[in-house]
Amino acid sequence: MADQEELKQHFAQRVIHQAREVLDVWQQLQRGEWSERHHSALDDATQRLRRFAERFEQPEHSALAIGIEDCLGDIRDNRGRLSSETIATLSQLIYRLARTGLRHNDPLTQPFLPPLSKPVYLALQNDQRADYLMRQLEFFSMSAQAFDSEMAFRAAMHQRHPAAIVMDVDFTGPGAGLRLAEQVQQGLEDKLPILFFSHSETDTPTRLAAVRAGGLEFFTGTLDASTLLEKIEIFTRTAHSEPIRVLIVDDSRAQATHTERVLNNAGIITRMLIEPIQAIGALAEFQPDLIILDMYMPDCMGTELAKVIRQHERYVSVPIIYLSAEDDLDKQLDAMGEGGDDFLTKPIKPSHLIATVRTRAARARSLKARIVRDSLTGLYNHTHSLQLLEDARFQARRDNRPLSFAMLDIDHFKRVNDTYGHPMGDRVIRSLALFLKQRLRKTDHIGRYGGEEFAVVLPDTPVEAACKVLNDIRQRFAELRFPAQPQDLSCTFSCGISELSADTDVKTLTQQADEALYRAKRSGRNRVERF
C-alpha cells in the first residue's frame, strides 16, 4: 500500500513538472506581447500536460489542460487576438493550475501551490537563524539547505543551482557575502534570485553593492519565514498575479477598440466606455488598476471626468493616463495638473503604451498594498477587510451565490507574549498569516482584524464548506512547532463562521461570526463553530 502511494506521488510530481512548463510560458506573456510563438509554445506545453495527466490519472490537471486548450482555440478563431474574456478565463485556469501541487501527507484533492523543484540555499552567519528558517520553510513545503562555510556553499553551487539564494552580506566575514554572491553569478546566462540580509541597518553603499551583486531584495534586523516565502514565490514565479485591469474612456469607438486590442495582446484586461458619464459606475464594478482617458470628448472633457473621479476617495490613487492627439506641451501639463498622472500623444507605438501601462499599474498596486495591508503580516488591514466584505456581499446578492465570513483568534495569545516575549508573539501571528495565505484560494480575502484576530471573506462558499476548510487549517496549524526554551511552543486558534442570508448586512455578518467565535472560546478553544 505504501509503495502504491509512493508511486502515485511520483506520477503526480511528473504531472506537476509539466504544469510548470505551462506556467512559465504564461509568465512570459506578462512581460511581453502575445504572438504566434507564445500561442504555439503554450499549446505544445498544454497538450503535453493533458497527455501526462491522462496517462497518470490526474483528472484535475487534465480538465485544466482541456480548458486552456479551449481558450487557445478561441484565440485562433479570433485571428490570433486575445480578448479580455479570454485573458480572464486563461488567468483563472492558470491560477488553478498553480494551486494543484501535491505535498507529502496532504489529501490528493486539496489544492496548493506546487513546491519548488529546487531547494533554497541559506548562507547566513547565525547558524540558529539558518536552522530555524530551514525548518519553517520545509514545514511550508519549500525545501531549504543551510551552509556554514564558503567552501560548502561553492561545492553545492557546483553540484546544483538553487531556486533562490538567501545571503548574509557578512557571510564568513565583513562584506564577504556580497563578493561571494557576485562571483557565483558570473558566467550564468540566467541570473539566480538573490535575497540579501544584514543583522544591522546598512548604509547606501552596501545596498548599492547588493544591487550590483544581483540582489532583488534586502532584509535587515529580522528574517521571518512568512515574508521570505512570499518574496521567493514571487521571484521564482510560483506566485500568481492577477492580470492588469484598464478602463478605457474614449468617445471614438475606433480609437478605443484599437487601444483595447493593443492592451489585450499584452495580457491586459480592459473595459471600454464610449459614454464618459458611465465611468463612475464602471469603476465600482470593474475596479481597474489604471484609467486611460481621451482628453477631448463632446459631452465631458477628460480633465473634467478626472476631477470627478478624484472626488471619490476609493479612486484617489488610481493612475489616470491621458491619451490624446494634443501636442501642446502647456496644455498637456495643465491636464496632468487636473488629476492626471501621465500624458501620451496619439499616435503612440504599442510597445510604448504597454510599457507605460504596466509600469504605472505595478507602482499603483505596490502603493495600494502598502496602504491597505498590515505591516506585520502583509494581510489586509481592518478597514479594508470590511470594505472587501461589503464588496463580496454585494456581488453574492447580485449573483445569488453563497458567502461565508470567518473570524479567527489565536488561543491564549497573552500567555505567549508574557512567557516567550513579543518577538515570539509576532512570529506566531506571521506564521498563521502565511498558513492562511497558502491554504486558502486567491479569491478569498484574508485580513488581520486586530492584534491576534484574523478575518476571512470566503466568496462563493457555503458555511459547511467554510467550516471544513478552516477546520483542516486549524488542525495543521496546531502541528507547527516554534523553537523556544525550555521547550518548543505550539499554538492553536478558535474560529467562528457566519453565512450571508437574505437580509444580512456587513454589521450583522461580523456580529454573528464574532458570536460564534466567542462560543468556540467558551467551549474549550481550538475549535471551529458556525453561527
Question: Are 141 and 111 spatial neighbours (Cβ–Cβ below 8 Å)?
Answer: no
CB atoms within 10 A of CB 413: 17
Question: Are 459 and 399 spatial neighbours (Cβ–Cβ below 8 Å)?
Answer: no
What string of pLDDT tens digits covers the 531 residues of the chain? 445 555 555 666 677 778 877 877 787 777 777 888 888 888 998 998 898 888 888 888 889 999 999 999 988 888 888 888 888 888 888 877 776 653 333 333 333 344 445 788 999 988 888 888 887 777 666 788 899 899 999 999 988 888 889 999 999 899 999 999 988 888 777 788 899 999 888 888 889 989 988 888 998 887 766 677 777 777 765 555 678 899 999 888 899 999 999 999 888 999 998 888 888 888 888 889 999 988 888 888 888 888 888 888 778 888 999 888 777 788 888 878 777 888 888 888 888 999 999 999 988 888 877 788 887 888 889 988 988 898 888 888 888 889 999 999 999 999 888 888 888 888 889 888 888 887 887 778 999 988 899 999 998 889 999 999 999 889 888 888 777 777 778 899 999 999 988 778 889 999 999 999 999 999 999 999 888
Dihedral sign for Cα 217, 219, 225, 227, please.
Answer: negative
How confident is the model at residue 240, as a pLDDT?
56
CA distance 364 to 381: 18
Question: Are 491 and 511 spatial neighbours (Cβ–Cβ below 8 Å)?
Answer: no
Question: Are 461 and 402 spatial neighbours (Cβ–Cβ below 8 Å)?
Answer: yes
How confident is the model at residue 238, as a pLDDT?
54
How confident is the model at residue 513, as a pLDDT?
92
Which domains are present in the chain? Answer: 2-98 (1.20.120), 120-235 (3.40.50.2300), 245-371 (3.40.50.2300), 382-530 (3.30.70.270)
Q: CB-based burial of residue 280 (10 Å sphere; 0-12 exposed, 13-18 middle, 19+ buried)?
A: middle
DSSP run (H or E) holding 228 = helix 225-235
CA distance 267 to 239: 17
* Residue at grid coordinates 506573456: 29
How confident is the model at residue 404, as a pLDDT?
93
